[in-house]
Amino acid sequence: MKEKDVRKCYILPVGPQHPMYVEAENLMVHLDGETIVNVDVNIGYMHRGIEELMQRRNYIQNIYLAERICGICSGIHTVTYCQCIENLIGLEIPERAKYIRTIILELERLHSHFLFFGVMAYEMGLDTVFMYTWKDREAVLDILEMISGNRVNYGMSAVGGVRRDVPENRIPEMIKKLDYLEKRGQYYAKVFYSDKLIRKRSVGLGLLPKKLVDKYSIVGPVARASGVKTDVRKDIPYLVYDKIDWNVIVREEGDVLARIMVKIYEVFESIKILKACLKALPGLEKTLKVKAPFVIETNEAVSVTEAPRGELFYYAVSNGTDKPERLRIRTPSFVNIANSLGILLKGQQLADLPIIVASIDPCFSCCDRVTLIDVKSGERKTVDEAYLKRLEERK
Amino acid sequence: MLFRLVEKTLNYARKKSPWFLHLDTGGCNGCSIELFAVLNPRYDIERFGGLSKANPRHTDILLIDGAVTKKIRPRLERIYQQTPEPKVVVAVGSCAISKGIFHDAYNIDGPLDKIMPVDVYIPGCPPKPEAILQGVMKALQLWEEKHE
Amino acid sequence: MSDSFRKKITGLAEIYKTHGNAVFAKIDKKDFLKTMEKTAELTERISSISGHDNGKTIELVYTFTSEKLVLNIKVEIDRKKPKIESVTKLFPGAGVFERENFEMLGVVFSGNKNLKKILLGKKSPKTPLRKSIKEGE
């Protein structure tokens, strides 16, 4: 950019505590008037050094650590971790354990998607839809509590299988709740697709072109909303996904609405998978776990799964002791946030910033204030969430 | 005389509508989503007059969860200083109370009470919404007392 | 598609381990750029660059996922002065991973113009994933 253009630009740090989303991140937004010209993403406010911690704990302690990498997708982290260690040993887990793990993972996908709908509605100013979706999300958490005893951090997976069984006498109750969720899903599909206000705030916004998706390693529903058919559950099947009939949802438009609709239809697919698993469970043998060694000999292995936000990748190296030599975790949000925001936000209006950032479903939490700096005159103006919300309402 | 009347009315109004600020300082989000669940119709904190706000200058009660990472610590201290008195600080979750499972991580600064005075502790990993409600009720009581 | 993919990989580098759908291959540092260019013809997306300090060398594993295959290409570099060519021209998405390995292990990726910290702050320790030299080298 030329010298004079830079001076005309405002640089807006949307700091770590900001009004948009759950979690701290810092975006240095370069503005020309109200149009975003460029964005620098500054993350790391949630970095706790987990990979280093994992080298100092043994394989069983690491299960609890893996669970607490993220509270929204804690189940997938434990399952991917356990799968990676099982690959190191060369262990095959019992059939029932595979079905139970699939049930937990799909329930987690459901609650994560409902959370996303609520937050998207909240960003657009529709508080009622936020309340409705989170109330429906409670039904999913009820099922999880029936199975595992907890709403968050279920503690179900272990190396070699699962720790608890699904109570078979409560399966009809769970299926009733899933029917209720399916009806609500159809209602939200209608609301998000046909409501004029929502369409105005989401159609054609935050476009992600198809050819940039693979180049920038963008994964998950964000990639599927831009026409790229990529889903680890179909590409590199694990657990029982290749035994059940279900579809990958892909949309071509690549805007905010496409990202919402992909997730809505994924809710229906998840319910399909869940019902199939719950119906198959009573007919399976009762073994939940096989014994796994405490000390693992030198080896290396990988494990790839589909978290609610995209492809999750674990790489483990063992060294003959009871502690891993190296455990590498690459989460989908890391790539999606760092790589896609620069593309999505160029040329968009400042008032649309919260909606576009929330639409990639970043796995963070935040609520902050924002400082506008006029680079030319050096004048500073501190504004807050109320200012951004007023901007949104004026639009 | 008139001034006293105005002051009394304002105090009564303030007591009945505490405003919260929620800050996640480096946790796993588990406590954050349970805090959000407290806002929604099943547990509903709004019936107590509570409202979640993003501006520290408008808040009365600080709800802080997460083990404090080094990067966010200066912002956290600034938010504490920007919140006007009387204020109540609530530490939500094991990470805020004692660093929890991250106690020996290289990027985490001390538990919350090393950085600021904490009034209410809500233990749990994450604490159930019912526990959070109980903790917030205690915080409200403390806050009313501070107003006297 | 996966069978022909596998044949092409065998032409690229020597495979030393497989488990399930995952393939591990090892290359020399001098063949690095050539192998990466050939891989760029097969797939556009890189999944991860995992760095590991094993006390003697630093191992970098470049992972690519596609249909029915998880391809891991391992290259070893010197531990005292870790340096390797950047692949951001072939895979623009790799920039983030190179920054992460730079701050965690101190690996310099020559050709990456944006090589700065991404996760660690000013007060965090430098290169935390490096093994400490006191452990009898």
Token digits of residue A140: 């999913």
Question: What is d(CA A292, CA B61) in angstroms, rounded to the nearest whole number?
Answer: 48
Token digits of residue A57: 């704990």
Phi and psi of A97, rounded to 5°?
A: -65, -40
Residues A39, A130: one domain? no
Q: Which residues of chain B make contact with C123, given a CB cutoff of 8 A? A: 70-71, 73
Establish if B70 touches chain C: CB-CB under 8 angstroms.
yes
Alpha carbon of A4: minimum distance to chain B alpha carbons (Å): 33
| Domain CATH number, residue A374 | 3.30.390
Residue B102 to residue A48, Cβ atoms within 8 A? yes
Scanning B78-107 for CB atoms below 8 A from C yields: 106-107
How many degrees, rounded to 5, is the angle at CA A244 between CA A243 and CA A246? Answer: 135
Establish if A364 touches chain B: CB-CB under 8 angstroms.
yes
At residue A224, the pLDDT reads 93
Q: pLDDT band at residue A14, thresholds of 50, 70 and 90?
A: low
Nearest to A49 among B34, B42, B105 (CB): B105
Q: What is the mean pLDDT of chain C?
A: 81
Residues A34, A84: one domain? no
Domain coverage including residue C12: 2-78
Q: pLDDT band at residue C137, thresholds of 50, 70 and 90?
A: very low
pLDDT at A2 over 50: no
Residues A27, A136: one domain? no
pLDDT at B24 over 70: yes
The answer to the question of residue C114 being in a domain is no
Parallel, antiparallel, or unpaired: how do β-strands A326-330 and A310-318 relate?
A: antiparallel
CB B34 within 8 A of CB B130: no
The answer to the question of residue C115 being in a domain is no
| Domain CATH number, residue A193 | 1.10.645.10
DSSP β-bridge partners for residue B51: B19
Q: What is the mean pLDDT of residues A266-270?
A: 94
Residues A8, A152: one domain? no
Q: Which residues of chain C make contact with A339, given a CB cutoff of 8 A? A: 92-93, 95-96
Q: pLDDT band at residue B57, thresholds of 50, 70 and 90?
A: confident
Q: Among A80-89, A91-100, A205-214, C4-13, where is mean pLDDT lowest?
A: C4-13
At residue A81, the pLDDT reads 93
Alpha carbon of A315: minimum distance to chain C alpha carbons (Å): 8
Q: What is the mean pLDDT of residues C76-90?
A: 89
Per the model's pLDDT, the better-predicted residue between A185 and A72 turns out to be A185
Domain coverage including residue A355: 3-46+334-394
Residue A304 to residue C47, Cβ atoms within 8 A? yes
Q: Which helix (H) or strand (E) holds A379?
A: strand A379-383
Sheet holding B19-24, edge to edge: B51-52, B19-24, B61-65, B88-92, B120-122
Dihedral over Cα of A194, A197, A198, A202: its sign: positive
Establish if B71 touches chain C: CB-CB under 8 angstroms.
yes
Scanning B53-72 for CB atoms below 8 A from A yields: 53-56, 66-67, 69, 71-72
Please count the helices (runs of H) and the strands (runs of E) in chain C: 3, 7
Burial category of A36 from C-beta neighbours within 10 Å (exposed 0-12, middle 13-18, buried 19 and up): buried
Q: Which residues of chain B make contact with A15, given a CB cutoff of 8 A? A: 75
Alpha carbon of A131: minimum distance to chain B alpha carbons (Å): 6
Q: pLDDT band at residue A101, thresholds of 50, 70 and 90?
A: very high
pLDDT at A394 over 70: no
Residues A74, A154: one domain? yes
Residues A139, A243: one domain? yes
Alpha carbon of A386: minimum distance to chain B alpha carbons (Å): 8
How many degrees, rounded to 5, is the angle at CA B102 between CA B96 and CA B106? Answer: 110
How many degrees, rounded to 5, is the angle at CA A247 between CA A243 and CA A252? Answer: 155
User: Quick check: helix, strand or coil at residue A306?
Assistant: strand
Per the model's pLDDT, the better-predicted residue between B74 and A250 turns out to be A250
The last residue of a domain, from among A311, A330, A349: A330
Residues A310, A366: one domain? no
pLDDT at A5 over 60: no
Q: Which residues of chain A make contact with C94, given a CB cutoff of 8 A? A: 217
At residue C123, the pLDDT reads 64
Q: Which residues of chain A make contact with B24, given a CB cutoff of 8 A? A: 22-24, 46, 365-366
DSSP β-bridge partners for residue C51: C60
Instruction: Find the Cα–Cα–Cα–Cα dihedral C55, C58, C64, C65, rounded to 10°.
Output: 10
Token digits of residue A272: 């399909």
Residues A121, A234: one domain? yes
Q: Which helix (H) or strand (E) holds A272?
A: helix A256-280
Question: What is d(CA A265, CA A162) in angstroms, rounded to the nearest whole number?
Answer: 29
Token digits of residue B76: 């956290």
Residue A48 to residue B30, Cβ atoms within 8 A? no
Q: pLDDT band at residue A385, thresholds of 50, 70 and 90?
A: very low
**CATH placement of domain B18-147:** 3.40.50.12280
Return the residue matching tokens 């253009």: A5
Please name which of B38, B23, B108 lies closest in space to residue A152, comparing C-alpha atoms: B38
What's the number of domains chain A is made of?
2
Q: Which of A236, A239, A336 to probe by mutation at the C interface, max C CB count within 10 Å?
A: A236
Contacts of A338 (CB under 8 A, 6+ apart): A41, A43, C96, C118
Q: Which residues of chain C make contact with B71, given a CB cutoff of 8 A? A: 120-121, 123-124
Nearest to C125 among B71, B73, B106 (CB): B106
The last residue of a domain, from among A296, A330, A364: A330
At residue A176, the pLDDT reads 93
Contacts of B49 (CB under 8 A, 6+ apart): B16, B17, B18
Residues A58, A13: one domain? no
Contacts of C4 (CB under 8 A, 6+ apart): none
Residue C19 to residue A311, Cβ atoms within 8 A? no
Q: Please state whether A153 falls in left (phi above 0), alpha (psi between -120 and 50) or beta.
A: left
Q: pLDDT band at residue A257, thresholds of 50, 70 and 90?
A: very high
pLDDT at A395 over 60: no
Per the model's pLDDT, the better-predicted residue between C127 and A367 turns out to be C127
The answer to the question of residue C126 being in a domain is no
Nearest to C20 among A43, A87, A235 (CB): A87
Q: Which of B25, B31, B32, B33 to probe by mutation at the A interface, max A CB count within 10 Å?
A: B33
DSSP β-bridge partners for residue B22: B63
Amino acid at A59: Y
Q: pLDDT band at residue A374, thresholds of 50, 70 and 90?
A: very low
pLDDT at A296 over 80: yes
At residue C4, the pLDDT reads 64
Residue B54 to residue A385, Cβ atoms within 8 A? yes
Residue C121 to residue B106, Cβ atoms within 8 A? no
At residue A387, the pLDDT reads 42
Establish if A242 touches chain C: CB-CB under 8 angstroms.
no
User: Quick check: helix, strand or coil at residue A330?
Assistant: strand
Please count the helices (runs of H) and the strands (runs of E) in chain B: 5, 5
Residue B126 to residue A71, Cβ atoms within 8 A? yes
The last residue of a domain, from among A330, A352, A384: A330
**Following DSSP, what letter does each residue of A92-159 receive, concatenated?**
---HHHHHHHHHHHHHHHHHHHHHHHHHHHHHTT-HHHHHHHHHHHHHHHHHHHHHHS-SS----EET
Contacts of C133 (CB under 8 A, 6+ apart): none
| Domain CATH number, residue C71 | 3.30.460.80
At residue A315, the pLDDT reads 92
Q: pLDDT band at residue C41, thresholds of 50, 70 and 90?
A: confident
Establish if B74 touches chain C: CB-CB under 8 angstroms.
no
Nearest to A115 among B24, B33, B69 (CB): B33
Q: What is the mean pLDDT of residues A226-253?
A: 91
What's the number of domains chain C is made of?
1
The answer to the question of residue C117 being in a domain is no
How many degrees, rounded to 5, is the angle at CA A65 between CA A61 and CA A71? Answer: 145
Token digits of residue A201: 């705030």
Q: Among A26-35, A281-290, A327-336, B44-53, where is mean pLDDT lowest?
A: B44-53
Alpha carbon of B133: minimum distance to chain A alpha carbons (Å): 16
Residue A74 to residue B30, Cβ atoms within 8 A? yes
